[in-house]
Structures are given as C-alpha cells and as structure tokens.
Amino acid sequence: MITCEGLVKIYKSDELEVVALQGLNLHVREGEMMAIIGNSGSGKSTLLNILGGLDRPSAGSVGVGPWDLLKITDDQLVSYKRETVGFIWQNNARNLLPYLSALENVEMPMMLSAKFDRAYAKQLLEWVGLKERMHNKLHQLSGGEQQRVAIAISLSNRPKLLLADEPTGSVDTRTSDMIMDIFRRLNRELGITIVIVTHDLSLASKVDRVVAIRDGLTSTEFIKRNPNLDDNFEPGSAQETVHEEYAVVDRAGRLQIPKAYLTALQITDKASLEFDGERIIISPPKSLEG
C-alpha cells in the first residue's frame, strides 16, 4: 500500500534550510494497522503530510497504491485526496465545522466530491458510536465525541488509506482506548489500511507494527507476534502484547542502531564488527597497539 525509498524532504527559506526527512525507507502492507512513533522534530508529521498529499517530497520515491506522489500532477493530487486517503487531525478544529451538526459535518465532504450518501453518513456515525448524537451541534458534544465525528468524516469518501496524526493526544485514557478500538474494528471489517502517528508508546500493544523514526530516518521496528498463529496461545496471557524489536536495514545495507545501545557500549563514531557464521557482533573498536 505504501512504499517509501530514500524519501527526502527539505524545507527552504531565504536564510534557512531544514532537512526534515533524510532518506527514509518505509513499507506498509495493504490492510495493515501500524503506528509511527518519534519525538518532536523526528520527521513523523512531515511523512504523514506527504502521504496525505498535503506536502510534496523533495527527492527519493514515495508511492501509495498506484499513485507516485513524487511525480503526481496537481489535478491528480485532488483526485488522490478525494478517492484514496482519509486524514484525521489531532486538533478537532481542522476537521469540523462548528455550526453544523455531526451528521452535516460527515455529509459535507460527500457534497464537495458529488458523492452525497446520507444513509452511509448515518452508518459511519453508528460505527463510531454516535447513533443517538448525530443531530447534535458540535458544542453539544464532548472532545472525545468530536474526535469520533472526525473519524467518521475521514471515512466519508470511502478511502483505502486512513492517516491519523496524534488522534488520541487530546483525550483521556478511556476515550483513547475507545478510539483505538474503533480503528481496529474499521481495519478488520473494512480492510482499510491505517497509519497512526503518535509519541505515545502505549499504543504499541494496539497495532500490528510500530516503526520508530529518529532524525528523519527509519530507525527501529517493533512487530507484534500474532497470537492466532501460536498453538499455545491463551487469551489474556502476556504473550498477547509481546513485540519483537528489529533494526531497519535499507537498500544500501545500512543499519541504524538505537542510540541507547551505542551509548551503553560507549560507541561514538566507529564500531568493530565480527561475524561468527550465524550472528553479526557489534562492539567498541579494538585498540590498535604495536
């Protein structure tokens, strides 16, 4: 569904040049539900804006389904945003029109793309648990309810890819769990691919895979073991939330090692590598004596 190879994004002004993405690699399978984590300034929101068609890449390659987002024309970009991708912002004000009801908010994107379908709009609000609240104005809805309206809006044009930027960042834990449950149900029942950008590590147990971004590069990947493939799996056991950690190797064979590991080994600019036939062993440089 998503393929990024050597993705670069550079922001330029008269006196300043900022490299937000420095050759990032990312692959997301169709129907996957995954999260991208990273600190502020790591490049995760820049990546989401590029995938959402809100920003243009500077170099490298980035594809979503059949679309090449590096070469896409402005007219094609409009079609891409209308037909392929749905977007959820952390700030509700960017999703919602305050003077409309919840139902009217969901119907608005349908009107703009000439795909008005009131029955589907109502169904979306039922899916997010707002069947009894669909005719309420936004000021009559809580923050969590407004965010659920935003999820319904993002699905109004039946996108194949759903992008969510910190969707649980402004709600309490209970509402956060409810929103993640909604994402999981949509992922399973509709088969929609979902990419969530967050700084919340606790979401790792609620998605299939987590990719960590640091300094504009993919650094570490955590893949959840699928309990359904394990004959010894027992529901509710600790195994249900186990993630395996992987370092990411790019096409040039470069391996980005987590900084915590390098610090623990006191490795700065050079490392010693050994291959014992099965494993690559990384250690501090051996001193050159004699």
Segment 138-161 shows an average pLDDT of: 91
CATH 3.40.50.880 fits 2-84+159-256, yes or no: no
Share of the chain above pLDDT 70, in %: 84
Q: Give the per-residue pLDDT at 224.
A: 61
Confidence category of residue 237, pLDDT binned at 50, 70, 90:
very low
Question: In the chain, what are the domain boundaries?
Answer: 2-84+159-256, 259-290
Burial of 89: CB neighbours in 10 Å, binned 0-12, 13-18, 19+: middle
Tokens of 17: 């040049």
d(CA 176, CA 7): 31
Q: Give the per-residue pLDDT at 263.
A: 82
Within 8 A by CB and 6+ apart from 269, the residues are: none
pLDDT above 70 for 226: no
Confidence category of residue 234, pLDDT binned at 50, 70, 90:
very low
CA contacts within 13 A on the Cβ side of 158: 7
- State pLDDT tens for residues 75-116: 999 999 988 999 998 776 677 888 899 999 999 988 887 788
- State pLDDT tens for residues 166-177: 888 777 888 888
> What integer best gives the mean pLDDT of the chain?
83
**Count of beta carbons in the 10 Å neighbourhood of residue 156:** 23
Segment 33-57 shows an average pLDDT of: 89
pLDDT above 50 for 231: no
Segment 195-223 shows an average pLDDT of: 79
pLDDT above 60 for 30: yes
The H or E element that residue 78 is part of is helix 74-83
The percent of the chain in helix, strand and coil, each rounded to the nearest 5, is 30, 30, 40
pTM: 0.79
Query: 161-165 and 209-214: which strand pairing?
Result: unpaired
pLDDT above 50 for 289: no
pLDDT above 70 for 28: yes
39 or 102, which is more confident: 102
pLDDT above 50 for 140: yes
